[in-house]
Structure 1
């Protein structure tokens, strides 16, 4: 996931602006509209909650997020974000981390299910109950204390697989204990709300009335209100609420395109001798013209989607954007036309990553022409916007909304690559005697690494052309990933300055995820079941947390290639709970774990870093010839084959 760009100067500038006039945390704290059962330490707790939604018969869920600017977290300058972008949602993220503050709570003494024993979360007496009120199903999860906040130690409850789009969930906490094993009493406000009916003029009457159906649902499933320490409910955004912006611009753009290839221009052709490059014979650069739906000319960083009065994305006043591309054509293509493949680059990088050694090796060894475009919204040019958004989350919509244009750009580049009147109509994609270098009778496939995998799942779910993809060293849900990524330390400096309270930071990360869902795999994972996806995971990855990949595998229904790890390499208990094993060869989605000998990652919400957790294995799977052979077989046949001789897969250090 790592970006190679330098950040210190921008971080220093943000720091200077925030510290110059920063008020105290207390002065920045908003009080109006706070949930009275949350304990009073942070306005939006517990989170997510239907206390912060309103009925709306015009949405697919019948509800709409209804944040007031007073309840959203203020930064160190006292700025509260405009809630408009959040209030378009008809529910919360399907990957929401549930956040609550229970003073003195000890999850071990309380018997909560840790990440190493997720199955325990479904025990009848589990102290945390997640109930799908739509179906009556208990939902698997793990619980932990925020290890980044030793002072207030928020409780974080993570779904072990994503919640279902549009469903209503009820959360119950019961039998909570402190480190000494003593029972913890519920806070006074919740005790009143969960108790006998309050008078209409009681300050807590409205909260009791709103929560009563959830308490009745719990009681109907054997969880008595009198046993509760805290309970609340929330609605997950609908499929249209999560994916509607992207599908709207996709459908409009492709409808205008019809059966034609997108317009493209070749701007550069470089031929290499075998001495210059034994693997790649030709590099081609150019641009593809794509309809723009962004507010700024050329879709510049900081753009958001242009919207009509009903909030639906509309075409930009500036017409089009140019998606810059770079393609690597292997030597074998001059003998036999190559397979068309899109490549997805890493964290805040660029299309130039398609020229990396491992990508060239994959192209040369297995006959792929890889083309890449920048993931605009999460590309190198967006770094200043990302930093500014961490300083003021009101600026954050520019990241996922520009990312959706970036996903559309990738679809158009892919269409141009795979269309017979697309790239192959240019002399740059033909031999001297006119034969095409790319076989456009073969289906377009995708291979991405790190951020290329995290965003790639959204691309694959939304693209009408891609049915088979490899997501390398992948995961999903930045709200889960960031605390666990060694990459985030550089960006965390800005977050610490702008939102210095660590409990507030957890709320901020989940608010960001609610918008991020529209531009990364987390919002689309429930709809990847009809695609074939191979997930390659680096065990102990320092940059993309293994737990995020596990949640993704459970959500998309990927099978686990076993044995996944050698004895003694994983946690004490079942490390891949809920992921069914695959019998090879396997036709369908799967997850393969590649072990380079790096220590197992921490079980807390902290990143594995050197030297305590050894060297970072993040680049190892893509650098393995065996892994590339497995990827190539999957992309061309849809089958996951055994390349590890029936043993756990290992990848030598890159």
Structure 2
């Protein structure tokens, strides 16, 4: 009995492994992600286990409460940067360091960094960048601006996979090389060091140093190395799939709805604008955007129905459908960040809908829509550890969107408002498509990974993951200012982006898009998408759009497509500009030039210049509209520009 108790106590002590990993003394949670914070517990299962002092305290000394959904996860986000701090590192002075513009060099044995799949020993493509997101804020006190050393995987990592990240010799500002921390230097030499347990040294000897050396980095050259394990794919998708399947089983083709207003001919090209409510199954603890809202989990481990809720929708019926001159397409439209379904009233959408026969419906992306602004800002200003309520609401948002799209060609299709000469214009036999821009492109990639009702979508100016997007977006400048006030140094601030990414992955591209094309989710068809991105976009950066495309897989690009700042388009299959491609054989990346000066397009993790922001321009170009039309109507992908799409600024 005593032996069993001793073993149990020892296991429990091992599980209380934290609070800090001393191989990077700059910040308790660095390096990150890190299996040091994923110890094996008493049950024999390795789960994340941070202490309340692992993540930085804010300026008021408030802890980051890890009990709010951060512990107990079987791994880390597959859409996360490997991040550490190398004092006085000179990235520009380090030869053979893979950067954004030559990330393919990370696969070579000469690369100074190696991201290694520990199961296969293969190098994984990545790029390295320094964190510049605090440069302007800390300009008056450069001592506070310690730029983190970040390595972004070129695409989403595999689930349930251990990775090793190893860094060889990195040049230091002023000459020489960045020196390892005392703890890592001792581990590298095989010497003991206070706070390094023999078991951890043995792990490095067996599972980290040999992999780094096999990848071409000698043990004696290492500045730092560590390992981390990604969570299972089901970790991210389990709740959403259950909510989708339960909701469709409960509602099916018979969604209840009510119409509250009908506005005839509100604008040219629009026969009717309709507002109403769809009744949806509700799985959240609250209907309103309350901080602390969560998905209610039942005794079976699945989201549990909490009742039903009426959700507003907007419907646009184009003139061409109402007068019978165009056959109707049942189209869902996804709106932008902190917007609403009212974006369906944009003039360019009126034009496209009328020309193409799109009957469009949309609901709000709750979690990141207009009704969430106050709650989201309050959370950022007071307690980032409560971030989980955003991803919970985004789960319900996807459920609502999937049901609204289904309703459009089923129960709502029988309504007289969708009839011409007494005949319904939509039915289950009608073409069904998805189109979204900005947040609608970002969340649209999740929608297109989940939908059982459409296989074709166009993602306008999208991107992922949010860890790449946020520092590169002017839209988050105000929220960043709040974070900068709460955390007084740059390392703490960027670590908060890593923390947020762990929660965002439950409902953002990083958790889903590997299933959009190449490995569909259960009971879900394969999907194809066009991705349209623009040079100089200050809101959803092109870097994130390309990460998204690589992560989807099966994505092609025409030979003439845009290479922003002459950066590589690594990871895409290039095809001749004259090719006509079958849409069901994969998707396509299409970039658009707008003559934005190079100096307005930083290669660092900063937004493009606001003065030349092209975020709203791509979707309005005739070329993007025509490529979308042909893809939706003919399942054909072609280059409408014949070469590079060079648009008017």
Which of 120, 134, 151 is matched with 2:105 structurally? Answer: 120
For the residues of structure 2 that align with 1:297 and 1:117, how far apart are their CA atoms?
47
Which residue of structure 2 aligns with residue 174 of structure 1?
168
Contact 1:114 1:142 (C-alpha < 8 Å) held by counterparts: yes
Residues 56-77 of structure 1: per-residue CA shift (max 9 Å, x gap)? 6989xx5322122221232222
For the Cα contact (< 8 Å) 2:127–2:152, is it kept in 1?
A: yes
Q: How does 1:1-150 map to 2 (within 5 A)?
A: 33-38=19-24, 40-55=25-40, 63-84=46-67, 85-111=69-95, 112-149=97-134, 150=142
Partner of 1:287: 277
Is residue 533–residue 589 contact of structure 1 (8 Å, CA) maintained in 2? yes
> Matched residues in 1 for 2:290 and 2:435: separation?
26
1:328 to 311, 316, 321: 316
- How big is each residue's C-alpha offset from its partner over 1:598-636, in whole Å with a ceiling of 9 and x where there is no partner? 22421111111244xxx2111112112221121121123
Paired with 1:58 and 1:599, the residues of 2 have a C-alpha distance of: 57
Structure 2 Cα separation of the partners of residues 148 and 408 of structure 1: 34
Question: What is the rounded CA distance, in whole Å, between the counterparts of 1:463 and 1:285 in structure 2?
Answer: 23
2:344 matched to which residue of 1?
Answer: 354
CA contact (8 A) 2:328 2:430 kept: no
Contact 1:456–1:471 under 8 Å retained in 2: yes
- Tell me the SS of whatever aligns to 1:362: helix
Q: 2:157 aligns with which of 163, 185, 196?
A: 163
Counterparts of 2:606 and 2:195, CA distance in 1: 43
SS in 2 for 1:116: helix
1:261/1:415 contact within 8 Å kept: no
Change (3 A) 1:356 1:58: farther
Conserved in 1, the CA contact under 8 Å of 2:109 and 2:216?
A: no
> How far apart are the structure 2 equivalents of 1:597 and 1:90?
46
Partner Cα separation in structure 1 for residue 313 and residue 89 of structure 2: 52
- Counterpart pick for 1:270 among 259, 263, 266: 263
1: distance between equivalents of 2:288 and 2:81? Answer: 36
Residues 298 and 46 (structure 1 numbering): CA distance in 2 closer, same or farther, change over 3 Å?
closer
For residues 333-412 of structure 1, the aligned pairs below 5 Å read: 333-334=321-322, 335=324, 336-391=326-381, 392-412=383-403
- Tell me how far 1:204 sits from its aligned partner: 4.2
Tell me, in whole angstroms, the C-alpha distance in 1 between the residues paired with 2:559 and 2:538: 23
Of 544, 553, 564 in structure 1, the residue corresponding to residue 549 of structure 2 is 553
Query: For 1:138, what is the secondary structure of its paired residue?
Result: coil
Equivalent position of 2:14 in the other structure? none
Compute the displacement of 1:290 (Å).
Answer: 1.1
Q: Compare 369-378 and 103-112 and name the one that shifted more.
A: 103-112
Q: 1:204 to 1:176 in 2, by over 3 A?
A: farther
Q: 1:467 aligns with which of 441, 444, 455?
A: 455
Distance 2:401 2:110 in 1: 48
Gaps of 5+ in 1: 1-30
Partners of 1:519 and 1:210 lie apart in 2 by 33
Does the 8 Å CA contact 1:620/1:651 hold for their aligned counterparts? no
Report if the CA contact (8 A) 1:285-1:324 is conserved: yes
Q: Determine the C-alpha separation between the residues in 2 that align with 1:72 and 1:177.
A: 29
The equivalent of 1:21 in structure 2 is none
Match of 1:239 among 233, 247, 254: 233
* Cα shift at 1:364: 0.8
For 1:181 and 1:140, the matched residues in 2 are separated by: 28
Greater shift in the superposed pair: 222-231 or 170-179: 222-231
Determine the structure 2 residue equivalent to 1:427: 416
Q: Structure 1 637/500 Cα, relative in aligned 2: closer, same or farther at 3 Å?
A: farther
**Which SS does the other structure have where 1:109 is aligned?**
coil
**Mapping for residues 193-592 of structure 1, pairs under 5 Å:** 193-196=187-190, 198=192, 203-212=196-205, 213-257=207-251, 259-272=252-265, 277-297=267-287, 303-308=293-298, 312-316=302-306, 319-334=307-322, 335=324, 336-391=326-381, 392-419=383-410, 422-431=411-420, 433-529=421-517, 530-557=526-553, 558-565=555-562, 570-572=564-566, 574-583=567-576, 584-587=579-582, 588-592=586-590
More off after superposition, 537-546 vs 555-564: 555-564
TM-score, normalised to structure 1, is 0.88
What SS does structure 2 have at the residue aligned with 1:607? coil
For 1:198 and 1:309, how far apart are their aligned partners in 2?
Answer: 47
CA deviations on 1:579-608 (whole Å, 9 max, x unpaired) are 221343122200111112122421111111
**TM-score, with structure 2 as normaliser:** 0.88
**Cα 1:629–1:88, aligned 2, differ >3 Å: closer, same or farther?**
farther
Compute the displacement of 1:311 (Å): 5.4
**In the TM superposition, what whole-angstrom CA distance separates every residue of 1:147-168 from its partner, at most 9, and x where no partner exists?**
2345312111111112112211
Q: CA separation of 1:179/1:531 partners in 2, compared to 1, >3 Å: closer, same or farther?
A: same
**Alpha-carbon shift at residue 570 of structure 1 (Å):** 3.9
Following superposition, the deviation at residue 304 of structure 1 comes to 1.6
**Further displaced range: 122-131 or 63-72:** 63-72
Q: Distance in 1 between matches of 2:197 and 2:72?
A: 28
Map of 1:596 onto structure 2: 594
How many angstroms apart in 1 are the aligned matches of 2:115 and 2:346?
44
Q: Structure 2: how far apart are the matches of 1:399 and 1:570?
A: 32
Q: How far is 1:496 from its partner?
A: 1.3
CA distance in 2, matches of 1:140, 1:157: 10
Secondary structure, counterpart of 1:268 in structure 2: strand
Q: CA deviation at 1:481?
A: 0.9
Q: Distance in 2 between matches of 1:300 and 1:360?
A: 35
Which secondary structure does the structure 1 equivalent of 2:86 belong to? coil
RMSD: 2.2
